[in-house]
Amino acid sequence: MQTRSGADITFDGDVVTKLHRPGADPRALRTRLTVADELHGTLLAPLTVVPEQVGTRWRSRWPRVDVVVPQPELLPWAEAGALLARLHAQPVAARLPHGWPVRLRRAVERLRGTGAAAEAVRRAVVGLPPEVWRAGSPGRPSTVVHGDFHLGQLGRRGSGQPWVLIDIDDLGVGDPAWDLARPAGFWAAGHIPDDDWSAFLGAYRQAGGAALVAASADPWPVLEPFARAAVVAAAVNHPDDDLLVDACARMI
């Protein structure tokens, strides 16, 4: 199975093998595997922290987990918020920047088309603020960041077991607001119901999430730039999604 990131996933019983995207840096991958192993219980621990070379690419091995069932009444938004807060509270050891800004640049490079939708996305890209092109910003917290958070990045070893974060390809250090970017942006675009967003944000705040320093303050001034970036990246990947394109048009 090939993922949108260009990685290839294969299953062999309880073992999952991931062939990482072409051009993946083996040193950065090993750092991320080591962090995942050290933060097991919050991140899924790999079966080995040493990536294996396969031709010009690198692969890692993982235990097989169950992922989130795409049923609205079963989505673990509160659990996800608390889990992210726990990740953002972990000690920062490796100084590898998380991958969100690089992924944003790759999305912008894929932007094609000449219609109204493509033009709306293009104009939204031009209007993105400077902080979305870097992993962290002066005056903001710096924590461990998953770098590609959405509910599809949750896994567990069986029903009733705690959720952990999977997929460490963009794991690193930077502003933790990036991990709230996609939920915030999709909520603003109309893809996530108010109750789900409130459950996610409330659980994150209750657990002391580092991205939002003042628990009672309006979170939107902090989250808005990153939410805009997440919507733009998603609109490039899903140009037929009217909600995402309309959200880009409203940014102008």
- pLDDT (tens digit per residue) in 8-46: 999 999 999 999 999 999 999 999 999 999 999 999 999
- The CATH architecture one would assign to domain 1-64 is 2-Layer Sandwich (3.30)
Contact, 76 vs 151, CB < 8 A? yes
The answer to whether residue 150 scores a pLDDT higher than 60 is: yes
Altogether, the residues listed in the chain come to a count of: 252
Contact 230, 251 (CB under 8 A): no
What are the phi and psi torsion angles at 4 (to 5°)?
-60, -25
Which tens digits make up the pLDDT trace of 61-111?
999 999 999 888 889 999 999 999 999 999 987 789 999 999 999 999 999
Q: Across the chain, what does the average pLDDT equal?
A: 93
Single pTM value for the model: 0.93
C-alpha dist (Å) from residue 192 to 1, 138, 184, 234, 236: 27, 30, 9, 14, 19
Classify domain 65-251 at the CATH topology level: Aminoglycoside 3'-phosphotransferase; Chain: A, domain 2 (3.90.1200)
| 249 membership: H or E segment, kind and range | helix 242-251
d(CA 132, CA 152): 23
User: Which pLDDT score, from 0 to 100, does residue 2 have?
Assistant: 47
Which residues are CB-contacts of 176 (< 8 A; sequence separation ≥ 6)? 84, 88, 141, 143, 145, 209, 210, 211
Going from N- to C-terminal start, the domains of the chain cover 1-64, 65-251
